[in-house]
Chain A
């Protein structure tokens, strides 16, 4: 049997695949953060809670309204994104002219309120969300058994990432957006409604988090605290990729998933910390992140 650093090739390939699946999650979540930070300069600490709201909305929508998985995948990001727009319009906008720290505190406070309220009603044990029938079962890849749902997560998350990148970097709307954040007064002079653009962008970033939440619902128990542990990792990914870099968030998300996956084979005890080690190294050698523009 071929061995790679003392691990059979099949196991190695399997871990690589799983790393990519997890990495796709990181990419999707850090992408939302990067869009919000890069374009609006808001450090969105409510991102984890918004991801959790996405999973909860899918669960409750199914339980009480009979909304199926596929419909939830479309509706939930719209609903949670809409909630995000309300947050931006009525809360974040009021402090937009202040230091970034205030936005961080506000979003962190909101995250605590969302989590606390749901803990009060649903407890913390978490509930199961059934995997949609077509995605049950698994694929035999030769070197591993890959559950179909995880393969789907990889495809769906990556497609969404590419779609977002394309929207922002390659379309007219994206160009408006980038210009609006660069020089909003000039854009307004050209007749573009910049405040509306900002509200929509925040809503879009939140919608991405909710989309990730719906994807996660069949994988992990849906509980009010599911977002808070993930948020810190995702922030580290954004820092490594370079704050605000769209492409950086995608590439770093995927590669961090793989690095974490391989750590789980070679030294599992460190798998929770390895991303932060990489973050420290990157901050020392390239403070603006791997894909960030030099400040």
Chain B
């Protein structure tokens, strides 16, 4: 090798090394640190929980395990659905471990507490599990993004579609607390705006195990649609009881306003057939989704919920933004994430709005009849797509401080 060639090679090597080190210099501590906070043991375990962590780790592995040469490190913790535990964990992550991004975030109460900590400490959070639309409305911050779904499209999607399909007389079964009331108000608004009618309404104490009395009232009301403005075990109990009392067999239809794949799987198709619901994603909706879901299934042994898929999608988008921005500085990354539209196996026509809401196409689905299902996880049929821009609360109605109205 001649002297000139040697010099050239050496200088290229040095330049390359410098390039790597400058990239690394902007990644704090030389590592991209992600904290996964979720309910790992309680009511919401199955919809996010350990499966969500697997999805996140899949995203990290698919990304190559490092960003611009800086390794990606994942921490995780159980928030036990307690706002205090969640907020303290995140404070510790930021203070002592310099965590760059917090993922997961399920119970809305935990999320609202954690996003406050993130705002005070200039962190970054991606909310995948929470339902409350207030997370990007009155509780919005510049330091978090809400990814998968919220109560607005749940009401707007399911209720509107049901009325349009001719289900214009409704009986509402509402959990008697803030979340249920909000959902109920949204549903009544949507039903009445679309020419439907609310013929009856019961607010049941939260939580309730015996729904027989309410189901009987729903049957007596003569309404075509029985809407469930509740969640979790209340929804599961209500659906079980409705099936015992032959509600759907006698011609009435259930509309689940917040139902996850794991709920339907646990309840079985006999009890849930024909249930209408809104979902942000379904594993069997197209080839891309199926391909990812099969990979997930191999690791976890269950099909992913929309929340678990959303965790993968949002982590991937975050890592790409860190790579493109060359830094893990929250503000820069948050801005970069908003610049890029999101179109992957999970989100179609996705974009992050100024209030932090990631809007994307939502889907109206119906639970299959047992005879139409070809496998353990063949549970939904997608009926229609709700376009991203129609699904979520319009910015003109936003109370978020980041939105100029």
Contact = CB atoms under 8 A, between A and B. Distances in A.
Interface in A143-165: 144-145, 147, 149-150
B213 A265 contact: yes
A59 to B, nearest CB: 13
Interface in B258-287: 262, 266-268
A8 B222 CA distance: 13
Contacts of A219: 210, 244
A126 B240 CA distance: 12
A15 B233 contact: no
Interface in B200-214: 202-205, 207-210, 212-214
Select the residue from A230, A264, A265 with max chain B CB neighbours within 10 A: A264
A22 interface: yes
A166 interface: no
Given A10-B220, A145-B250, A226-B209, A125 B45 contact: yes
B229 to A, nearest CB: 14
B203 A269 contact: yes
A21 B244 CA distance: 14
Contacts of B205: 268-269, 271-272
Interface string A247-274: 0000000000000010011001101100
Interface in A208-250: 219-221, 223, 226, 229-230
B227 to A, nearest CB: 16
A142 B246 CA distance: 15
A18 interface: yes
A147 B244 contact: yes
A11 B216 CA distance: 8
A220 B43 contact: no
A221 B46 CA distance: 15
Given A18-B213, A125-B233, A221-B240, A268 B45 contact: no
| Interface size grouping (class) on chain B | 20 to 34
A280 interface: no
Contact of B246 (A128, A145, A226, A268): A145
Contacts of B45: 123-125
Given A11-B216, A221-B237, A268-B214, A138 B246 contact: yes
B9 interface: no
A265 B217 contact: yes
A174 interface: no
Interface of A: 8, 10-11, 14-15, 18-19, 21-22, 119-120, 123-128, 131, 138, 144-145, 147, 149-150, 219-221, 223, 226, 229-230, 261, 264-265, 268-269, 271-272
Interface of B: 41-43, 45-46, 176, 202-205, 207-210, 212-214, 216-217, 219-220, 233, 236-237, 240, 244-246, 250, 262, 266-268
12 contacts: A11-B217, A19-B213, A123-B42, A124-B42, A124-B43, A128-B267, A138-B244, A144-B216, A147-B245, A150-B212, A221-B233, A230-B209
